[in-house]
Each structure stands twice: as structure tokens, then as C-alpha cells.
């Protein structure tokens, strides 16, 4: 069989096999069912002939796109046609053995590199007759097939209970999303320095895999308050991204792409939920895929290195280790010479997130390291993101020279409307939860309510809070809070308690806990993490913290066991999540701060809070705690804070109005004003 026909067989196996698996349930052998007539399956689901034909045409077009991409991969290998055929025959055999079924993807955590490792370990016979060059091409083809399968399966619904109309809409959406992935892969391939002959420089092959890994991992959106299957939680950031604006002392709010200097160096500051991390992820995805807007064409060809400071070992800061921490799938294959070449040649774009998550006593060291990167690699771009308190107030540090500072501006009315439209149209409809008609009703009701109520309008100027309003509006039938503390409480309740009840899910290890008990567990965990300056912790440390709380609750469950309780929180609550290989953190730092504030109020731990007000990491906690406290406790704390400030030299303590100004608005409306 020719290379072209083998590539077509691979495309048909992936696309039709997954479709049949979605319709009929998991298939042990997706390749064998790929020959079934899709039009008959679709007609049996209630579609008329022409709708079924349109849907079949979409899938067959997708088959050809996948086949073309597979063919390009083998054609660029410069191996002999007989070698290319041998590789594709091995890939067809791998698909026939069920190596890319939905079940195998779950076992591999939807990680293409893990899929490759699984195939090589479980089926060594597939490569036994291949040469070393052929084996390397086989590895790349399996990884590429895995990328296509993962992105297609993440968009396909479980059709067995779907209406015919949802079936048609979701099939078209799945085809559209994977088509975009294939476009990105082709764009990446076009800009890479691929090896020109066997035995040439393999850096192009590695860079292709690296860029694809960046685009895949960071092109994800956290779905707050929406109940979807595990695979659907990998929803595309690009589909729901709205263009945020930034401002500086010299510039009025302007779209981000227009503000980035040509040297690619700047500092982005913004309050909780303003979109800092989303901006960095968007830049990483767009740069990796070579899909930049015209205003950022000067970043074309750059290699993005997104570093999450909270995941890095700050005792020995290293760019390579930071890349490995944020992108584990390349950890084993990452080589420093390739990173060094990108840095020295000016092709690198370093994106550093979360300076504010570094404890104050460690920030000077981190900034010295950043200054060293800027000096040693003068052509490399660098974007640093942080909350503003790091650079102002007591204990502040000096921003590196050469990084002009831009603040993320509140959402404009137009951008807020766009975000709400995207949430309903791309998420509710895109994940198959609602039809277009029903989602449009929810969307319009929320837009009208926000327009009519100034308090909700103020809350909606923050991207995170706006997304929360969308979720609450949808789930609570327009019963919306009008201040931040109430909004956070409703979201915590939704994530921690009501979602399983609403869905009628079976009991788990949290079933015997009341909502108050579950909230106390996460409050204590959050407060402990804030006190110690943690934004993420090892699961073992979290279990050790939870165990005494279980003992105190005296739930009459026999010997308390923290492991199943913590596992249930991680898997079912939507409030805490796994981070890295063995850690956990809160789904957003805002929730950690809110829950810590609740625990401060419960324990009346105002003395510790007073002693911590000079630490910017406690600013949001203090504001939320004062808004939550009874009037007497809040007034007493404010009086002590004022007295403390008057006793300190100018500039050595947090200026009271910077902390107190947001308290009145937080009880009535939206996000705190930036601390300048």
C-alpha cells in the first residue's frame, strides 16, 4: 500500500473511530469500526438525510486533513518511500491494537508523550523491524496522531444521550476545533529550522514538538461553575479569549498587542482576576503556533518559555528547570544547548508569571535572576506579570530597568459584553450543555441585568468576576449577588457543595460532611497556606494539615483518614486541584484569599492580620476579612491600623487609605482599586 493510502487509512481510523466510540460507547478496536457508514449512524440518531450527509462530509474532510498532516510528517523525514511505508504500516497496526482509544487517552492523562511511551512499552513488536531513523519517525507520527486524537476526543460529546440537534452542532464544532489544531501544526512546521537530510541537526524536530506542546498545554481555559466531562475541561483559551487593554502613566488604555514594545520587554501588573496569567498564556500559544496578530508580527519566529514562579525551586533558579516545571512533557528531552541558542540568537520570549506569589523575602533574589537574564541575553524578549503591590508600599521591590510597566485595565462595556457572549456561545453551546437558542436567552438576560444594575456592572469589569457572574447567572437562574464577598461565597458553595447535588452524583468520601464542615476544611487549609506564604503545597503536607481537622470534627467514621477526603476535594469540588506531579493549589488564588479571610474572622485572628498588613500578599486577605467581619471588629481593626500607621515613619508601613479605600466598595460593588 502506498504512503498516501496508508496516511488516508490513519486519518479514517482516528476520525471515524472516535466518532463511533462517542456514539456507541468505548471501542476496543477503533480501526475496525472506521469503515461503518456514518450517515446511517447519524440518521438513526434522528437527523434527516441532508443533515446526516453534511455531518458525514465534515468528518470525511477532517480525515483528509489528518491524512495530509501525517503525510507531510513522513515526507519531511527524507527517508526512502519503503521506509515511510514501513513506519505508517506500524502506525496503522498501533491504531488497530487500540493504542489511541478514549480509554487509552485517559490512562495517559491526555498527554501525547505518555501515549508514545505507552505504545513503545506495551507493543515493542511494532518497532522491532524498524531502523533507528524509522523508529524516530514512528515516534513523531504516534505523537502527531495522539495530538489529533486528543483534540478531537476533547470536543466530541457522549452522543448516546444527546439530541440529534446537539449531535449535529457538536460534530461540526469538533471538526472546526481540530481543523484549527491542524492549521497551527502546519504553521509551526513552516517556521521551523527542520533538518534537511538524514543525520542533520535534529533541533528542528525537537522545536516542532516543543511548540506543539506549548500550544496544547497553555491553550486551555478553566471552566468555573460548569459541569462537564474531564476531557471537555480542556477547553480552548483561544475560543473564549477577549482582547484585554493595558494602560501606563504615559498611555491611555490601549489593546495589549499595540502596547508591547518591539523588543518584547515589559511588566504587566493587575489585581486578582484581571487576566495577567491569561495574557501570558495567550502570548505563549500565539507565539508557539506562529499565529500572531499583525500588530505583533515582530514577535514572529520567537520561541516562548512560560515560567510559573510558584512551581520553580527558588533556591537554585534555572531557566531550563523552570521550563521543565511548567511543561513536564518536555522534561526528559529538553536540552540546554537548544535553549541557549534561542536565548542568544534573540529568538526567545521569556514569560514569567507570579512574582507576587513569591514570599517577600525571596523577591529580591528572583528579580536579581531576572536582571541577569536580561543582561546576559540582551536580544531575548521578557514579559513579567505580578500584582501591583509588589512594586509599591511597604516592603516593595524595584522593578528591573528596561521593563516598562503596564496595568491591566478594567473591562470596557464592549469587552465585557464580548466576554459574556463568548462564555455563553463558546462554552455553554460549545460543550453541548445548551442549544444556541437557549444559551442566547441566558446571555441576553444577564446582559440586561448588568446594564440595569451599577453594582453588577462594577463587578463585571473584572474578567474573573465576570466569568463567575456568567456561571452563577446560569446556575442560579439570575439570583445574583451585588458585592464581591457574596459572589465568592456563592461560587464556593457552587463548587464545594451544590454541583454534585444538582447533578445527582453518587456519594463519595465527602458525603457525610455538611457544607459547613467542608468549608471549614478548605478555610483552614487556605489560611495555613497564606500564613506560610504558600500558593501550592505537596499533597502529603496537605493531608497532614487536614487530618487534625478531621479528628476535631468527630464524624464517628472510625479512624480519620485524610487521604480519601483530600482526594474527593481534588476530584469533585472544583475548588482545589492538582498542581504538577504531587502538589495541589486552589483553582484561583482569589478563592484561597477569600477562604483565609473567613478563617481569620472565625478565629478573630486580628492581631496576626494587623502584623501582616505591610506584606502585599496579605492585602486582598485583609480587605476581604474587613468586609466579612461584623461592624465592631472591622472598626476596631481599622482604628488599630490607623494608629499603627501614624506611629511609623512615612513609607515604612502600608498607607491606610490604600487598604481601607476598597472596604466600602467591596460591601456594595466590585473589585478593589489598584494599589499604586
Number of CB atoms found within 10 A of residue 447's CB: 17
Do 538 and 580 form a contact (C-beta atoms < 8 A)?
no
C-alpha cell at 299: 514577535
Using the predicted structure, report yes or no on whether residue 369 has a pLDDT greater than 80. Answer: yes
For 6-19, the pLDDT digits (tens) are: 998 888 888 777 66
- In angstroms, rounded to a whole number, what is the distance separating the alpha carbons of residues 268 and 405? 6
Tell whether the model's pLDDT for residue 82 goes beyond 70.
yes
Q: Is the pLDDT confidence value at 394 over 50?
A: yes
What lies within 8 Å, CB to CB, of 516 at 6+ separation is none
Q: How far apart are CA 241 and CA 256, in angstroms?
A: 13
Q: What is the pLDDT of residues 4-60, one digit of tens each?
A: 899 988 888 887 776 666 555 444 343 334 444 666 666 666 667 777 777 777 777
- Specify burial of residue 376 (Cβ count, 10 A radius: 0-12, 13-18, 19+): exposed
pLDDT of residue 529: 93
CA distance 97 to 91: 10
C-alpha cell at 444: 441576553
Indicate if the pLDDT at residue 528 is higher than 90.
yes
The contacts of residue 160 (CB under 8 Å, 6+ apart) are 23, 24, 25
**241 — alpha (psi -120 to 50), left (phi > 0) or beta?**
beta
Mean pLDDT of 364-368: 93
pLDDT, tens digit, for every residue of 459-473? 888 888 888 888 888
Q: What is the mean pLDDT of residues 517-536?
A: 91
User: What are 10's three cell numbers?
Assistant: 490513519
CA distance 215 to 198: 27
What are the Cα distances from residue 497, in Å, to 232, 511, 570, 572?
Answer: 21, 10, 13, 9
Cα 638 to Cα 133: distance, rounded to the nearest angstrom: 70
Give the model's pLDDT for residue 567. 77
Of all residues in the chain, the percent with pLDDT exceeding 90 is 21
Mean pLDDT of 316-338: 82
Q: Of the given ranges (317-326, 591-600, 636-645), which has the lowest mean pLDDT?
A: 636-645
Number of helices followed by number of strands (H, E) in the chain: 31, 10
Query: For residue 403, what is the enclosing H or E element?
Result: none
pLDDT digits (tens, 9 = 90+) for 130-173: 888 888 888 888 888 887 776 666 555 443 334 444 444 555 55
Amino acid at each position: 500500500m502506498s504512503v498516501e493510502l496508508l496516511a488516508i487509512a490513519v486519518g479514517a481510523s482516528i476520525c471515524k473511530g472516535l466518532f463511533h466510540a462517542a456514539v456507541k460507547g468505548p471501542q476496543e478496536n477503533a480501526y475496525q469500526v472506521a469503515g461503518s457508514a456514518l450517515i446511517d449512524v447519524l440518521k438513526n440518531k434522528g437527523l434527516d438525510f441532508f443533515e446526516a450527509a453534511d455531518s458525514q462530509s465534515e468528518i470525511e474532510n477532517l480525515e483528509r486533513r489528518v491524512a495530509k498532516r501525517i503525510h507531510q510528517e513522513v515526507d519531511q523525514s527524507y527517508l526512502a518511500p519503503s521506509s515511510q511505508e514501513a513506519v505508517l504500516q506500524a502506525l496503522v497496526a498501533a491504531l488497530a491494537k487500540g493504542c489511541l482509544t478514549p480509554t487509552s487517552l485517559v490512562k495517559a492523562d491526555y498527554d501525547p508523550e505518555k501515549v508514545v511511551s505507552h505504545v513503545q512499552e506495551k507493543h515493542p513488536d511494532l518497532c522491532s523491524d524498524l531502523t533507528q531513523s524509522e523508529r524516530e519517525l514512528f515516534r513523531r507520527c504516534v505523537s502527531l496522531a495522539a495530538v489529533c486524537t486528543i483534540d478531537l476526543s476533547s470536543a466530541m460529546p457522549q452522543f448516546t444521550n444527546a439530541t440529534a440537534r446537539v449531535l449535529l452542532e457538536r460534530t461540526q464544532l469538533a471538526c472546526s476545533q481540530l481543523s484549527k489544531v491542524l492549521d497551527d501544526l502546519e504553521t509551526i512546521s513552516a517556521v521551523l529550522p527542520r533538518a534537511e537530510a538524514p543525520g542533520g541537526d535534529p533541533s528542528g524536530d525537537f522545536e516542532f514538538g516543543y511548540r506543539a506542546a506549548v500550544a496544547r498545554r497553555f491553550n486551555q481555559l478553566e471552566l468555573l461553575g460548569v459541569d462537564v466531562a474531564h476531557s471537555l475541561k480542556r477547553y480552548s483559551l483561544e475560543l473564549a479569549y477577549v482582547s484585554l487593554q493595558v494602560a501606563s502613566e504615559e498611555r491611555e488604555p490601549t489593546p495589549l498587542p499595540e502596547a508591547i514594545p518591539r523588543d518584547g520587554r515589559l511588566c504587566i501588573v493587575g489585581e486578582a482576576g484581571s487576566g495577567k496569567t491569561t495574557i501570558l498564556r495567550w502570548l505563549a500559544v500565539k507565539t508557539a503556533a506562529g499565529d500572531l496578530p499583525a500588530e505583533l508580527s515582530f514577535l514572529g519566529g520567537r520561541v516562548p518559555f512560560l515560567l510559573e514562579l510558584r512551581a520553580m525551586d527558588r533556591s537554585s533558579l534555572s531557566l531550563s528547570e523552570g521550563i521543565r516545571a511548567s511543561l513536564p512533557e518536555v522534561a526528559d528531552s529538553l536540552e540546554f544547548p537548544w535553549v541557549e541558542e534561542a536565548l542568544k540568537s534573540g529568538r526567545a520570549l521569556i514569560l514569567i508569571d507570579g512574582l507576587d506569589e513569591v514570599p517577600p523575602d525571596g523577591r529580591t533574589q528572583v528579580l536579581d535572576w531576572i536582571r541577569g537574564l536580561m543582561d546576559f541575553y540582551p536580544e531575548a524578549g521578557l514579559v513579567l506579570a505580578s500584582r501591583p503591590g509588589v512594586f509599591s508600599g511597604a516592603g516593595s521591590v524595584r522593578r528591573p530597568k528596561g521593563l516598562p510597566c503596564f496595568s491591566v485595565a478594567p473591562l470596557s462595556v464592549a469587552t465585557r459584553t464580548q466576554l459574556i457572549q463568548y462564555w455563553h456561545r463558546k462554552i455553554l453551546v460549545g460543550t453541548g450543555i445548551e442549544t444556541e437558542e437557549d444559551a442566547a436567552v441566558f446571555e441576553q438576560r444577564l446582559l440586561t441585568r448588568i446594564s440595569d444594575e451599577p453594582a453588577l456592572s462594577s463587578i463585571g469589569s473584572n474578567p474573573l468576576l465576570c466569568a463567575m457572574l456568567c456561571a452563577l447567572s446560569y446556575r442560579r437562574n439570575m439570583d445574583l449577588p451585588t458585592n464581591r464577598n457574596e459572589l465568592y461565597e456563592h461560587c464556593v458553595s457552587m463548587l464545594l457543595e451544590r454541583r454534585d447535588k444538582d447533578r445527582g452524583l453518587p456519594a463519595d468520601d465527602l458525603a457525610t460532611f455538611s457544607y459547613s464542615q467542608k468549608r471549614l476544611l478548605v478555610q483552614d487549609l487556605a489560611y495555613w497556606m497564606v500564613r506560610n506564604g504558600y500558593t501550592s503545597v505537596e499533597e502529603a503536607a496537605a493531608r497532614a494539615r487536614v487530618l487534625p481537622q478531621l479528628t476535631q470534627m468527630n464524624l464517628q467514621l472510625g479512624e480519620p483518614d485524610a487521604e480519601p477526603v483530600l482526594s474527593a476535594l481534588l476530584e469533585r469540588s472544583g475548588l482545589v486541584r492538582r498542581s504538577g506531579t504531587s502538589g495541589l493549589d486552589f483553582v484561583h488564588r482569589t478563592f484561597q484569599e477569600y477562604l483565609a479571610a473567613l478563617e481569620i474572622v472565625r478565629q478573630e485572628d486580628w492581631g496576626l492580620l494587623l502584623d501582616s498588613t505591610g506584606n502585599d500578599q496579605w492585602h486582598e486577605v485583609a480587605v476581604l476579612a474587613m468586609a466579612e467581619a461584623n461592624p465592631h471588629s472591622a472598626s476596631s481593626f481599622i482604628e488599630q491600623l490607623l494608629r499603627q500607621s501614624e506611629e511609623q515613619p512615612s513609607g515604612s508601613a502600608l498607607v491606610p487609605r490604600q487598604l481601607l479605600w476598597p472596604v466600602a466598595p467591596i460591601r456594595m460593588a466590585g473589585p478593589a482599586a489598584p494599589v499604586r
